[in-house]
Structure 1
Amino acid sequence: MKAASRSNGKSKPSSGKVIARIVWVSIKILIIPVLCIAALIVGLAIGFSVLGDRPVSEVFELDTWKHMYDLVFAEGG
């Protein structure tokens, strides 16, 4: 008579669980950069409109940032 095979308690996880785990880890990794970018955009919009008394739409214009760059890095005396 043969002895019954024992399971060591380690079975392979289903493919659905593996995919869910990969998605969850990806979300955990990406949440901080996404929140940082969102905070940057909100901060720019609030600072530009409240402190600068300018329309919020100007924050997203390229000409605004070219002008800022020219102001910061202008050569002068």
Structure 2
Amino acid sequence: MTVTTRSSDQKKRASGSSGRTILRILWTSFKILIIPVLCITALIIGLAIGYVVLGDKPLSEVFDAQTWKHMYDLVFAEGS
């Protein structure tokens, strides 16, 4: 009788252990990915606020590649 009890206890521990391992992997992945996601979100919000509020330009131009190419050209233009 003790043999069946031990095997069932071992099965419960094994299934609980694998569940904890999966949760630990998911939590670690979440912690690793949350920082870059928050940084990219802050960058996008900062670009939008700076361009619209400080630049008095429409929000639709914030995500236009030509806008940022023009900004890059202005900042890194060679002086004459």
Structures share fold, TM-score greater than 0.5: yes
2: CA distance, partners of 1:57 / 1:35: 22
Q: Percent identity?
A: 72
Paired amino acid for 2:17: S
User: 1:34-55: CA deviations, max 9, x gaps?
Assistant: 1111011001001100000001
Number of residue pairs aligned between Structure 1 and Structure 2: 68
Pairwise CA RMSD of aligned residues?
1.9
Is 1:23 equivalent to 2:26 in the alignment? Answer: yes
Tell me which residue corresponds to 1:53.
56
* Partner residue of 1:39 out of 39, 42, 50: 42
User: 1:11-35: CA deviations, max 9, x gaps?
Assistant: 7853222111100001011111111
Instruction: Give 3-state SS (helix, strand or coil) of 2:62's partner.
Output: helix
Of 45-54 and 29-38, more deviation after overlay is shown by 29-38
2: CA distance, partners of 1:70 / 1:36: 25
1: CA distance, partners of 2:78 / 2:31: 45
1: CA distance, partners of 2:72 / 2:66: 10
TM-score where L is the length of structure 1: 0.77
